[in-house]
Amino acid sequence: MDLAQSPDPIRSRPSVPLPVKIVVAGGFGVGKTTTVGAISDIAPLTTEAEMTEAALGIDNLGVESQKTTTTVAMDFGCVTIDQSLKLYLFGTPGQSRFGFMWDDLAHGALGALVVVDSNRLDDCYPAIDYFEHTGLPFIVGVNAFHGQLTHELTEIRWALAISDQIPVVRFDARERTSVRDALLVLLGTALNRALGEPSG
Amino acid sequence: MPDGRIRPYLRALVPVERFGGPAPTAAVTADPAITRVPRPFVLTSGRVTGTDPTIRLETQVTARYSGQRWDSPELSRLPSEMRNIVLLCAEPFSVAEIAAQLRLQLGVTKVLVGDLRAAGYLDVHVRNSADPSTPDVIQRVIDGLSAIT
Ligand SMILES: Nc1nc2c(ncn2[C@@H]2O[C@H](COP(=O)(O)OP(=O)(O)O)[C@@H](O)[C@H]2O)c(=O)[nH]1
Ligand SMILES: [Mg+2]
């Protein structure tokens, strides 16, 4: 929009890449860190963020802000697309009470891959609710633990109650090319959205 | 605006010539009251919120003056965590990478990066356009990922 008047300082400095990011969300133990590690140029790094008391207070409805703090771990990796473009992947647990952190993660993200273990579908509900609410392009990636799915993708789509516009793909979090293909489906959705076309 | 405010604890550490005054003297550098500095959580008064919202996890950070040694007059007066940030950012690093490499909490890292920018040590490459999800950028990511085998 106002790009013409105010040139992006990053573009005028070729040594500093434009950072873009994809969020990898889902419940605990569904394969988020594995997904990030499979595609990243570097071994996944971990950082911690401390939840504020206010954030706890919002979550614990009815419970007045307690003097406790919770530390949330977040992993990330990156893929250097070229010298001027760097893709970051942020993997973060999908509890609804971590919403404050998702705002930072999701702002300006190209999209989100919601990783699902077909044995524990309800673990991903907070993530799906969040991305539906914020309007960030997302797809559901069903991580095929042991090479098998306990449910067909159509059953999973039905159980998750997501629109037909949202792609549901099967992938293997341990396989680089499989993660790549899941991300390409997500980026196709994001591209359609950016072009103003109906997705799917 | 985000560049304007220098937090009180950093004022004594800001190189004077940044503001047109004389360079710091040896006497100032040697002052033990200046080199005795509190740890980051104390430095930030536990602040992990209310930071500049344009400083995000992926935001790129570079040292304003490259090639500074850890024992240079300017850097040696910084708390070690802040000095390490400046030294690390001789190359562009994201806020998340800085936090991970230096084992700092994300919130603390954002505060320290914002403070170091205000004090003139760092450039924080904030994007002008709110949304990078342009078809052009997305297509470049698609092309880049497609090349992965
Ligand atoms: N067999 C199998 N194990 C997996 C797969 N994906 C992840 N795991 C394992 O499941 C565990 C949890 O994965 P992790 O990526 O740490 O989950 P996270 O909590 O979502 O980050 C780890 O021990 C992984 O090695 C998979 O596709 N197949
Ligand atoms: Mg993990």
Of A75, A48, A49, A70, whose CA–CA distance to A59 is shortest? Answer: A70
Q: What is the pTM of this model?
A: 0.80
Question: Which has the minimum average pLDDT: A187-191, B103-107, B144-148?
Answer: B103-107
**How high is the pLDDT of residue B64?**
85
3-state secondary structure of B126: coil
Which amino acid appears at position B130 of this protein?
A
Confidence of residue A10 (pLDDT cuts 50, 70, 90): very low
pLDDT tens for B6-43 read 665 565 555 444 433 444 443 334 444 444 444 454 55
A154 Cβ partners below 8 Å, 6+ apart?
A: none
CA distance A152 to A91: 25
Residues 63-102 of B with CB under 8 A from A: 92, 94, 96-97, 99-101
Higher pLDDT, A156 or B19: A156
Confidence of residue A76 (pLDDT cuts 50, 70, 90): very high
Higher pLDDT, A55 or A29: A29
Is B131 in contact with B100 (CB distance < 8 Å)? no
What is the gyration radius of the CA atoms in chain B, in angstroms? 17
Which amino acid appears at position A75 of this protein?
D
pLDDT tens for A158-178 read 999 999 999 999 999 999 999
Is B83 in contact with A6 (CB distance < 8 Å)? no
For residues B94-99, average pLDDT? 95
Confidence of residue B2 (pLDDT cuts 50, 70, 90): very low
pLDDT tens for B109-146 read 999 999 999 888 999 998 766 677 899 999 999 999 99
Q: Is the pLDDT of residue B77 over 90?
A: no
Could you give phi then psi for residue B13, rounded to 5 degrees? -95, -15
Q: Is the pLDDT of residue A6 over 80?
A: no
Dmax (CA) for chain B in angstroms is: 59
A168 Cβ partners below 8 Å, 6+ apart?
A: A139, A140, A142, A153, A156, A157, A160, A162
**How high is the pLDDT of residue A196?**
87
**How high is the pLDDT of residue A20?**
96
Q: Are strands A18-26 and A85-93 parallel, antiparallel or unpaired?
A: parallel
* Ligand 2 centroid from CA A76, angstroms: 9
Q: Is the pLDDT of residue B66 over 70?
A: no
Per CATH, the architecture of A18-50+67-195 is what? Answer: 3-Layer(aba) Sandwich (3.40)
Is A76 in contact with B82 (CB distance < 8 Å)? no
* Long-range Cβ contact pairs of A127-136 (< 8 A, separation 24 or more): A127/A25, A127/A26, A127/A27, A127/A94, A128/A160, A128/A162, A129/A96, A130/A25, A130/A94, A130/A96, A130/A99, A130/A102, A130/A106, A131/A25, A131/A106, A132/A162, A134/A106, A136/A23, A136/A106, A136/A109, A136/A111, A136/A112
CA distance A106 to A170: 23
Q: Which of B58, B127, B139 sits opposite A8 (nearest CB)?
A: B127
Taking an 8 Å cut-off on Cβ atoms, the answer to whether A81 and B58 are in contact is no
**How high is the pLDDT of residue A66?**
47
For residues B86-97, average pLDDT? 94
ipTM, 2 dp: 0.83
Q: Are strands B60-63 and B122-125 parallel, antiparallel or unpaired?
A: antiparallel
Pocket lining: A67 vs ligand 1, CB cutoff 6 Å:
no
CA distance A140 to A30: 12
Protein residue with its CA nearest to atom 28 in ligand 1? A145
Instruction: Locate A83 and state its tokens.
Output: 């010298």
pLDDT tens for A97-127 read 555 667 778 889 999 999 999 888 888 888 8
A110 vs B contacts (CB less than 8 Å): 132-133, 137-138, 141
Rounded mean pLDDT of chain A?
Answer: 81
Residues 18-47 of A with CB under 8 A from B: 18-21, 39, 45-47
Protein residue with its CA nearest to atom 18 in ligand 1? A29
Give, in order, the Cα–Cα distances in Å from A158 to each of A122, A165, A187: 13, 13, 23
Instruction: Locate B36 and state its tokens.
Output: 């005795």
Pocket lining: A145 vs ligand 1, CB cutoff 6 Å:
yes
